[in-house]
Amino acid sequence: MTLGVALNHFELAPDGNAVEDATHLASRAQAFGLGSLWLGQTLSYDAITLAAVVGASVPELAVGTAVTPLHPRHPLVVSGQARVAQAATGGRFSLGLGLGGADLLREQFGSSPAKPIAHLREYLQVLAEIERTGAARFEGETLTARSGEWTLELPGSQPGPSVVVAALGPQVLRATGELADGTVTFLTGPRTIESFIAPTIRAAAEQAGRPAPRVIALVAAVLTDDAEEVRGRAASIFDFYLTLPSYRAVVEREGVGHPVDLALIGDEAALARGVRRLFDAGATEVVLTQGLQLGGAEARLRTWEFAGTLAQQ
């Protein structure tokens, strides 16, 4: 099993040095036998930069972003960041991208892409052109990218990083299958992966002549002896996702009443069963994510340690 874990800013120590804390946690994950560490993007740090530092400090552990919003970042800038991360980690970096929520983007930055699907397609086309030619000469509907006489090649970064996209809807899945290396999803249960996510992205990749795509399933997971208490806490946190149309749609597609029903909360048998169901449904990788507000630091390490044993099976 290809198993990893994810961190967000809620899981870093509130005092001390956040970068050192993330690096220490990454070393614990690697010691437990986990294969990857994924970092969410917030306004307090840059996930690509943090992934580069962590990956350079923890040999053999793959690192990635889950995910970096496209807006307001220009692909020329993101490509340069990603190439540094790829070189710093010796080829162990994955660039996870996402459109982000339009309302949140407008609240934070004052704007959002007017045509998000077209913007995603053009963004991925620019990244692919840079990877293929070492230059950018792109004029699109939503993007302009010109490198002029400057080379965009960076020694040590070849081949370029794997590019995955947070894709939940059919148009985003098709664009991702055609133009990227895979998808990274959250709140997609086994039924949704098997009947919708995996077949849609695989068909698009096959039609475009691309290799079989990665299907990376992020799932909230807590190993605990008090499942009901943790589930109740998680339910109040996950209420937020019901306000987002894309997440509400995949929850409804799965046929569950609430996003918390997609979390893996319980004992070792429950976690193992849930992880195997995701792989059986078509996930190529499973990434466990757990905010400290769900179970605390002790539960996090207990969950990671057990996940490490599953990864060896």
What is the reported pLDDT for 113?
A: 93
Q: Which helix (H) or strand (E) holds 14?
A: none
Digit-coded pLDDT (tens) for 147-174? 999 999 999 999 999 999 999 999 999 9
Region of residue 222 (left: phi > 0; alpha: psi -120 to 50; beta: else): beta
CB 57 within 8 A of CB 24: no
- Say how far apart CA 98 and CA 67 lie, in whole Å: 6
* pLDDT tens, residue by residue, 206-226: 999 999 999 999 999 999 999
Tokens standing for residue 189: 């249960």
Task: Using alpha carbons, select from 270, 300, 296 the residue that is nearest to residue 288.
Answer: 300
* Domain assignments of the chain as residue spans, ordered by start: 41-166, 174-301
- Domain 174-301 CATH assignment equals 3.20.20.30: yes
Closest CA to 104 of 241, 237, 228: 241
Strands 214-223 and 36-39: unpaired
- 41-166 has which fold? TIM Barrel (3.20.20)
pLDDT band at 241 (very low <50, low <70, confident <90, very high): very high
Distance CA 64, CA 85 (A): 9
Residue type, 38: W
Taking the CB of residue 270, how many other CB atoms lie within 10 A of it? Answer: 15
Identical topology for domains 41-166 and 174-301:
yes
Answer positive or negative: Cα dihedral of 278, 283, 287, 289.
Answer: negative
Tens of pLDDT, residue by residue over 7-65, are 987 677 778 899 999 999 999 999 999 999 999 999 999 999 999 999 999 999 999 99
